Amino acid sequence: MAIFSVYVVNKAGGLIYQLDHYAPRSDTEMTFSYPLDLVLRPRDERVVVAFGQRDGIRVGHAVLAINGAEVNGRLTADGKDVLEFLSNPANYPVSIRFGRHRLSSNEKLMLASMFHSLFAIGSQLSPEVGSSGIEMLETDTFKLHCFQTLTGIKFVVLADPRQAGIDALLRKIYEIYSDFALKNPFYSLEMPIRCELFDQNLKLALEVAEKAGPFGPGS
Amino acid sequence: MSRSRPAPSRPLESLLNSELFTLTYGALVTQLCKDYENDEDVNKQLDKMGYNIGVRLIEDFLARSNVGRCHDFRETADVIAKIAFKMYLGITPSITNWSPGGDEFSLILENNPLVDFVELPDNHSSLIYSNLLCGVLRGALEMVQMAVDVKFVQDTLKGDSVTEIRMKFIRRIEDNLPAGEE
């Protein structure tokens, strides 16, 4: 699973398509008895582990589910506050699932429009005239590749740093967009893409690119 | 009548038969004439439909042809005539009649695949049969930040010897420029 996600951003910076292609991160579910030896605290809309790392549970992991029922932000499925629930000995033994939280779709929208602005800054910072925007962003766990078409649509792919052939993949995604999204008369331009065929063909293209692996040209 | 096939980016079998295309376009225009009864309205509708096609077609064109941004109108004219028309209609119009300021030119089409087998009757003398093409060109160029005015000045259906499309550059569309294009 070397290609993690695909984002498509329209001219105005709005996210119109998003696909997560990675296997779910390892979540850890364990049964605990009172008192809990992990320190939990609320952060943003979630309850995260602040201190205490063991058995696959890391600092920063969020509480994903309690007793099998998915947690809703800081409230349990029944609407009780998670921290209160866990500080009451009567509720133990309890089974809690920890894991890295997934980005919610609102967060993705925000991040996409932030990237849209940063992309523009990339070309403004350049000492040369007529520079492109940000084409690649690298971290130690992934590389982000971005391709902007002449019409202003951006295709963003997050992949493993060793994955090769992403440029060709970005062009292929552009072709798939021009085929299955634009040639669908019921799809309106600049709106979120909800086309089955686009999804299917995109997934196929990602699989083909992954199989080519890190041995393709120009890694 | 020889029609050269566009360079196939798909297998030959999947290219549509051009007779079917001519029939489809003809059915479209005649239905519009029945619906609107007034040639001017039909021309406007064809232009609108062409515009909607153009804004989508441009992405397909850019995805498949890999041309970069054109920096002046002459480059644009070349790309339109030699690559775009060839890719989509299988013909290569010639570029002539440049205005002194370099902002207007004419495309001369020897044969127009849309009007194979078509004759205009007298009661539709102001109908611009291939007006869809004007809309397509206008819509496509608008998506790459160029505002243009496109119109037919000669039409074989009206008795002229060639079909001539006049394209005029109005201005560069400055709002919503993609980053890096200023």
H-helix or E-strand spanning residue B170: strand B163-172
pLDDT at B139 over 90: yes
Q: What is the pLDDT of residue A219?
A: 39
Q: Domain ranges in chain A?
A: 3-23+104-211, 27-99
The confidence score (pLDDT) of residue A214 equals 65
Residue of A nearest to B142 (CA): A151
Chain A residues with CB inside 8 Å of B180's CB? 120, 122-123, 130-133, 148
Q: Would you state the pLDDT for residue B62?
A: 93
CB–CB contact A148 B177 (8 Å): no
Residues in A closer than 8 angstroms to B177, CB to CB, are: 152
Predicted confidence at residue A1, as pLDDT, reads 57
Contact criterion met (CB < 8 Å) for B179 and A189: no
Asked if the C-beta of B100 comes within 8 angstroms of chain A's C-beta atoms, the answer is no
CA atoms in the 13 A half-sphere facing the CB of B63: 22
Q: Report CB contact under 8 Å: B62, A133.
A: no
Asked whether residue B24 carries a pLDDT value surpassing 80, the answer given is yes
Contact A137, A121 (CB under 8 A): no
Element spanning B20, H or E: helix B18-36
Which residue shows structure tokens 């004759």?
B119
Q: Is the pLDDT of residue B11 over 60?
A: no
Q: Is B176 helix (H, G, I), strand (E, B) or coil?
A: coil
Beta-carbon contacts of residue A195 (< 8 Å; ≥ 6 apart): A180, A181, A184, A187
**Whole-number pLDDT of residue B181:** 66
Q: Quote the pLDDT of residue A48.
A: 85
**Contact between A148 and B178 using a beta-carbon 8 Å cutoff:** yes
pTM: 0.83
Mean pLDDT value of segment B42-61: 94
Q: Which residues of B touch A151 (CB under 8 A)?
A: 58-59, 62, 143-144, 178
DSSP secondary structure letters along chain A: --EEEEEEE-TTS-EEEEEE-SPPP--EEEEE-SSPSSEEEEETTEEEEEE--BTTB-TTPEEEEETTEEPBTTB-TTS-BHHHHHH-GGG-SEEEEEEPPPPPHHHHHHHHHHHHHHHHHHHHH-SSTT-----EEE-SS-EEEEEE-TTS-EEEEEE-TT---HHHHHHHHHHHIIIIITT-TTPPTTS----HHHHHHHHHHHHHHHHHGGGSS--
Confidence of residue B5 (pLDDT cuts 50, 70, 90): very low
- Residues of chain B with Cβ-Cβ distance to A128 below 8 Å are none
Contact A148 B62 (CB under 8 A): no
Query: Per-residue pLDDT for B169 more than 70?
Result: yes
Residue B109 amino acid letter: L
pLDDT range class, residue B7, cuts 50, 70, 90: very low
For A3-23+104-211, which CATH class?
Answer: alpha beta
Place of tokens 């997560």: A20
Residue B29 in this model has a pLDDT that exceeds 60: yes
Alpha carbon of A103: minimum distance to chain B alpha carbons (Å): 26
Low-confidence stretches of chain A (pLDDT < 70) are 1, 24-25, 213-219
Residue contact B55–A189, C-beta within 8 A: yes
Give A88-92 contacts, CB < 8 A, sequence gap 24+.
A89/A34, A89/A35, A92/A32, A92/A33, A92/A34
The arrangement of secondary structure in A27-99, i.e. its CATH architecture, is Roll (2.30)
Least confident piece of the model among A188-202, B92-106, B109-123: B109-123
* Least confident piece of the model among A19-23, A142-146, B1-5, B50-54: B1-5
CB spacing of B179 vs A177 below 8 angstroms? no
pLDDT at A24: 67
